Structure formats: structure tokens, C-alpha cells
Amino acid sequence: MRQAVLFDLDGTLLDRDASVEQFVSVQYERLAEHLSHVPKSDYISRFIELNCHGHVWKDKVYQGLVAEFSIETISWQTLLEDYEMRFQFHCVPFQSLPEMLTELRQQGYLLGIITNGRGEFQARAIDGLGIRDYFDVVLISEVEQVRKPELEIFQRALKRLGVAASDSVFVGDHPEADIAGAKGAMMKTIWKRNSSWTEAKDADAIIDQLDEIPSILKQF
């Protein structure tokens, strides 16, 4: 019987905060003719504040920036389009990402991603990380029309893999969407600890680094 490991994307495989910071810095430089009346550090720090670790969609972030900094020669829509098209070139992986995925594949695990977000954008981010070929299934909430923590999206992924919940593990950073959701689907769970939350009470194991995963799987 094959076993599967499924992952959240943002904050689990993709270092979202580092990626956003790198993107915004480059965006400022590239569009400096429209933005240079705003100090670069202010543009970056305000973007990060408005962004709330990705929990606010970027239309609101750019509307906020344009209004607060009186940006007049470029629209929030153009800034948003620039983000949507170019973020993929600034995707920063967490440490040991390809090595960890390679090790799990060598051990025979089937691999999947379940991510809440927009279809094309999330697909481009996965390509940006260069990890698409490691995965047997990728489920994106906009495409699937169902979001974590709903059981349906976890069950659908397992069905596509042909794996039982009891033979699968979910790795994620969000205590509710990822850990409680996967637990509800009867999967084992690994919480990737982060500063946004103090605990994930449904987690079977806790990691700080991706390279801890292979040895934890052997203990399950």
C-alpha cells in the first residue's frame, strides 16, 4: 500500500514573507519613475503591513498604497497586474525544499499539494519554485471550488492519489485550515511552526525545518 505526504504551499514550502519582500523591493526599483516620491523602505514596510502574511488579497494592498502614498502616475490595477505576472520570479523556498522532496520520492511516497488561493497564481508560484514535477496531485481551492479546512478538498486529493487517509500525512503552517482540516479528514498531521500562531493543538508532530520531515514520517 503506497503512502502519501501532502503539503500546504504558502508558509510551508514557499517562504511567503521572504518572497513578498524580495518582489516588492524589485517592483519598487523597476517602477521607480512612478514611486520615487515614496521612500523605498516605507513602500516595502507598508506593503508588508497591509499584506498581513498574505491573508489580504493584493487588490486591497495596492489600493491602500496608492491612496496613502498619493501615487498618481500608475494605477493600483497596473501594480496588481505586475504583481500577478511577476511574483513567480521571486518565489523563495524554505531551506532544504528540493532535497526533502527528492528524499521522500526516493522512499516511494506519493506527493501532493493542497493550497487555498487563485488557480493561475498558485500554479505559477509552484512553477516558480521549480517543484511541479515532484507532485502527483495539486489541488488549488479556486479550481476545486472548495477550500481548506473543508474535508472535501482533503478527501478529493486522497481519492486522486488512491491512498487511504490512514496512509497519509498533511504538512502545513495554519492550525485551522491545514492541521484541524486534515485531522478532520483522518490524516496524520505535521505542523510547521511559525510566528503567526502559538500552537496547533491537532498536530501529531511539530517541525521548524523541512528536513525534519523524513525522520518524523518513519516514527508514525
62, 79, 176, 188 from 170: Cα distances, Å: 33, 35, 13, 6
Classify 124 as helix, strand or coil. Answer: helix
Please tell me whether residue 17 binds Mg ion under the rule CB under 5 A. no
Question: Which residue in the shown chain puts its C-beta closest to Mg ion?
Answer: 11
User: Minimum CB separation from Mg ion for residue 202, in Å?
Assistant: 15
- Name the residue nearer to Mg ion (CB basis): 55 or 218: 55
Q: Which of 4, 5, 10, 188 binds Mg ion (CB under 5 A)?
A: 10
Which residue of 11, 112, 128, 149 would you call a contact of Mg ion, by CB under 5 A? Answer: 11
DSSP, res 10: B
| Nearer to Mg ion among residue 124 and residue 174 (C-beta) | 174
How far is Cα of residue 122 from the mean position of the Cα atoms in its chain?
Answer: 8
> Is residue 202 within 8 Å of 183, Cβ to Cβ?
yes
Specify the residue, 146 or 164, whose C-beta has the smaller distance to Mg ion: 146
User: How many Å apart are CA 94 and CA 12, to the nearest integer?
Assistant: 8
Interacting positions 162-201 with Mg ion (CB under 5 A): 173-174
Residues near Mg ion (CB under 5 A), total? 5
What is the DSSP secondary structure assignment for residue 52, as one 8-state letter?
Answer: G
The one-letter amino acid at 193 = R
Smallest distance from Mg ion to CB 85, Å: 22
The site for Mg ion (CB under 5 A) is made up of: 8, 10-11, 173-174
